[in-house]
Amino acid sequence: MKLLTVLGSTGSIGRQTLEVVAGNPGLFSIYALAANSRVKLLAEQARRFKAKKAVIADKRYYGELKNRLADTNTKVAAGRTALCELAADMQPQLVVNALVGFAGLEPTLLALQAGKKVALANKESLVAGGHLVMPLAMENKIIPIDSEHSAIFQCLQGERAESVESIVLTASGGPFWGRTVPELENATPEEAIRHPNWRMGKKISVDSATMMNKGLEVIEAHWLFKLDYDKIKVLVQRESIVHSLVTFIDGAVLAQLGMPDMRVPIQYALTYPQRMTSSAARIPWSKLDKLSFTPVREDSFACLALAYRAGRTGGSMPAVMNAANEEAVGMFLSGKIKFLDIPRIIEFVMNKHKVIAVPDYSCLVEVDREGRLLAREYAKKKG
Ligand SMILES: NC(=O)c1ccc[n+]([C@@H]2O[C@H](COP(=O)([O-])OP(=O)(O)OC[C@H]3O[C@@H](n4cnc5c(N)ncnc54)[C@H](OP(=O)(O)O)[C@@H]3O)[C@@H](O)[C@H]2O)c1
Residue spans of the domains in the chain: they are 2-145, 147-301, 314-383
Amino acid at 282: R
As its CATH architecture, domain 314-383 has: Orthogonal Bundle (1.10)
Mean pLDDT for 179-208 is: 92
Whole-number Å distance between alpha carbons of 211 and 228? 20
Which residue has the CA at smallest separation from atom 29 of ligand 1?
Answer: 36
Domains 2-145 and 314-383 share a fold: no
Is the Cβ atom of 260 under 6 angstroms away from ligand 1? no
Atom of ligand 1 nearest to the CA of 198: 3
Paired sense of beta strands 28-35 and 2-7, if any: parallel
Nearest CA to ligand 1 atom 25: 8
Provide the mean pLDDT of the chain: 97
Distance of CA 215 to the CA centre of its chain: 12
CA–centroid distance, residue 108 to ligand 1 (Å): 14
pTM over 0.95: yes
Say how many Å lie between the CA of residue 257 and the centre of ligand 1.
25
Phi, psi of 4 (to 5 degrees): -120, 145
DSSP-assigned letter for residue 96:
E
Residues 172, 235, 155, 101, Cα dihedral to 10°: -60
What are the tens digits of pLDDT across the range 215-245? 999 999 999 999 999 999 999 999 999 999 9
Atom of ligand 1 nearest to the CA of 80: 32
pLDDT tens-digit series, residues 123-167: 999 999 999 999 999 888 999 999 999 999 999 999 999 999 999
* Residue 330 Cβ contacting ligand 1 at under 6 Å: no
pLDDT at 102 over 90: yes
Start-end of H helices in the chain: 12-23, 39-48, 62-68, 80-88, 105-113, 124-133, 147-155, 181-184, 189-192, 202-210, 212-224, 263-271, 302-313, 317-333, 341-352, 361-382
**The predicted structure's pLDDT at residue 41:** 98
Output the pLDDT for position 222.
98
The neighbouring-strand residues paired with 75 are 53
Cis-peptide into 196, omega within 30 deg:
no
> If you measure from the C-alpha of residue 232 to the centroid of ligand 1, how many angstroms do you get, rounded to a whole number?
25
CA angle, corner 300, sides to 299 and 303, nearest 5? 90
The yes or no reply on domain 2-145 and CATH 3.40.50.720 is yes
DSSP labels, 153-171? HHHTTT--GGGEEEEEEEE
Instruction: Indicate whether residue 77 lines ligand 1 (CB < 6 A).
Output: no
86, 96, 127, 200: residue to mutate for ligand 1 pocket, most atoms within 8 A of CB: 200
Residue 199: pLDDT band (50, 70, 90) is confident
Cβ 278 vs Cβ 267: under 8 Å: yes
